[in-house]
Amino acid sequence: MSKPRSLSLAAYRVLSWGVPQNTGLSDNPRPDGELLWIHVSAANRIRAIDDFCRRLLPARPGLSLLLTAPPDADLSDWSDCSTPILKLPAEQTGSARAFLDHWQPDMGLWFGGGLMPNIITRAQERDIPLVLLEASVDVKTAPGGRWLPDITRYTLDCFTTILTPNKETERQIRRLGIRQAKVSVAPPLHVSPNPNPWPEDELIETNHTLAGRPVWLAAWVQDKEFISVLTAHRQALRMLPRLALILHVADMAEAGPLHKRLEAMDLRCANWDEDHPIEDTTQVILSSMPEDLGLWYRVSAVTFMGSSLERGAGGVDPLIAIALGSAVIHGPHVSQHRTLYDRLDQAKAALAIKSATELGDRVVELLAPDRTADMALAGWQIVTEGAPQADQLVDMILETLDRRRAQDART
């Protein structure tokens, strides 16, 4: 049952009145069945939320998802998402009503700040259950409405549940007059990788072939990083003469020319893509197929995540490597995944380097069993820390949708 409208809200709607501008609704028909609306307020959260969506969908057959971004978002920054994402219409009364008329969501999740009073209050008045996660006391009002009393409190109070990332935000929201039972602290969602299995017989055979030899992997290596990686390998060979490098190149077209360069450098190389056998004297195993990384992460105690030593590529996601037990080294240029690498570095689950010399030293250092074990444990804790929060959120969504379905059946 929706609650009485406040005077502040009534005034706000007058001040923010506007008709829908080209929202593109007609180009995006509402899917049949249940629809969960998920709003993401910041581009750097989209990957964790997209990962959560992949976990949720198998638990609710027939459920469709609508992901939205803020009206002023540049969607070119939101490309790391497998679920289509749309921009919300501007904060106007008519636009909010048109959005809800078209999509008719069965439930809404709002991640982060940038709360938009018109669409949130309209959704609550339609008895659409709303949950605020990773909450921030940040309401994005229309021009002219920011000085109205109580609009922040009224907007926050439309949510049935509010989960804050820390105690301070929880206290701020409660001081606004939000009931204590609604508000609690919960950690933000994190990506929980789920590596594909690898054929047991091939894994056993590859481990047997490499048995007794220290092995490290350089994954997603760009052409301008080749010399640095090979220099680091030569340096490490002085301390570990039987060391094997699995060199995975980011560009498949570089594999053939690189093989010739390795031979010219007097490095004994096996081209895995061409079924060359790995021999006891092989120093470099050349690979370019992305799907083979599932094998290489499993057999390598240490992985250097390439595309990070030189500017340009912005780094690659290390979580699958960590989930499969490999200790991770990376360069300084990881702008595409900076938040994740910072978390890993702080937890001592990854190690940053800046040069080929430093890379060679760290490879030798991390191949000591006690170091790799410590890093693998720290990495596993990072990989799994978000799983309980995700499971609880899945349960909350399923229970809410079940209640709504039962209520609809009675009416």
CATH of 200-384, one of 3.20.20.70, 3.30.365.10, 3.40.50.2000, 3.30.565.10: 3.40.50.2000
Q: What is the mean pLDDT of each run of 10 residues along the chain (411 residues)?
A: 62 71 67 96 89 92 95 82 86 86 96 93 94 90 67 91 94 92 90 86 93 94 95 95 96 88 88 93 95 95 96 91 94 90 92 95 90 88 82 94 87 71
What is the per-residue pLDDT across 25-81, written as a single tens digit (0 to 9) for each?
Answer: 557 889 999 999 999 999 888 888 998 998 899 999 999 999 999 999 988 878 767
C-alpha distances (whole Å) from 140 to each of 22, 70, 114, 289 are 21, 10, 5, 46
- DSSP, residue by residue, 279-290: -TT--EEEE--G
**303 Cβ contact partners less than 8 Å away, ≥ 6 residues apart:** 216, 217, 218, 219, 296, 297, 318, 321, 326, 327, 328, 329
How does pLDDT run across 264-274, given as a tens digit for each residue? 888 899 999 99
Helix axes 369-384, 356-366, angle to 10 degrees: 100
- Range(s) for CATH 3.40.50.2000 in the chain? 200-384
**What is the architecture, at CATH level 2, of domain 7-192+386-410?**
3-Layer(aba) Sandwich (3.40)
Task: Cite the residue boundaries of each domain of the chain with CATH code 3.40.50.11720.
Answer: 7-192+386-410
What pTM was computed for the model?
0.73
Task: Round to the nearest angstrom and report the end-to-end CA distance of the chain.
Answer: 14
